[in-house]
Amino acid sequence: DAGVTQSPTHLIKTRGQQVTLRCSPKSGHDTVSWYQQALGQGPQFIFQYYEEEERQRGNFPDRFSGHQFPNYSSELNVNALLLGDSALYLCASTTWAGKETQYFGPGTRLLVL
Amino acid sequence: GIQVEQSPPDLILQEGANSTLRCNFSDSVNNLQWFHQNPWGQLINLFYIPSGTKQNGRLSATTVATERYSLLYISSSQTTDSGVYFCAVWAAGNKLTFGGGTRVLVKP
């Protein structure tokens, strides 16, 4: 049973560029959430997708957008990158209906120069 | 929004020692999870524990939801226990709010 997978593992971009990160949820899960973890801090909730719609959003600007596909996989897009967007981006999956453990992927390390 | 505080922020242990990590939260929650983040950044599920006590090997956790805290116990610590331990709660929906973490270093 495959767990949560994310790609790419590492990414280097320059300021102003755009980036797309990808996530495939754990088998049987239909809800995907994205988190940003800056160095030395706990993960911060960006947004959550279920049934291809954004269901909840944290305190992040509109430069952060996402998408969920019919197979439940998801993308996180960040436009007009800033130096402060450098972080570990984590994807988590769970089921919308039940109270169930959230499982995290290995993350994508983004460095903005 | 809900606030989650973890203590201590840093912990240095000698191999074989026992320790207790604490997580306080500011409001009623539907659920609580404990994670271990390894040096490569992977968040590993330790416990899903809205209330009561659970044990898994040398680790155990207790959540007292009415008093808004949870404790993670590490017994007979090993060097592989090093890393950052996070407590995370959710109140509405599936949004997790994390504490700041406890950084644990176990020395041989």
Q: Which pairs from A66-74 meet CB under 8 Å and 24+ separation?
A: A66/A34, A68/A32, A72/A24, A72/A25, A72/A29, A72/A30, A72/A32, A73/A22, A73/A23, A73/A24, A73/A25, A73/A32, A74/A22, A74/A23, A74/A25, A74/A32, A74/A34, A74/A49
A33 reaches B (C-beta below 8 A)? yes
pLDDT at A98: 65
In tens, the pLDDT along A42-65 reads 999 999 999 999 999 999 999 999
Closest CB from A41, A56, A90 relative to B93 = A56
Contact B45 A101 (CB under 8 A): yes
Contact B41 A107 (CB under 8 A): yes
**Pick from B14-28, B35-49, B88-102: least confident:** B88-102
Q: What would the two tokens of residue B34 be?
A: 């404990």
A3 reaches B (C-beta below 8 A)? no
Mean pLDDT across A26-49 = 95
B97 reaches A (C-beta below 8 A)? yes
In tens, the pLDDT along B68-108 reads 999 999 999 999 999 999 999 987 777 899 999 999 999 99
**Pick from A78-87, B13-22, B91-100: least confident:** B91-100
In tens, the pLDDT along B50-69 reads 999 999 999 999 999 999 99
Identify whether the C-beta of residue A85 lies closer than 8 Å to the C-beta of residue A33.
no
pLDDT at A1: 63
Preferred mutation among B37, B38, B94, B97 to probe A, highest tally of A CBs within 10 A? B94
Mean residue pLDDT across chain A: 94
Contact B35 A42 (CB under 8 A): no
A60 reaches B (C-beta below 8 A)? no
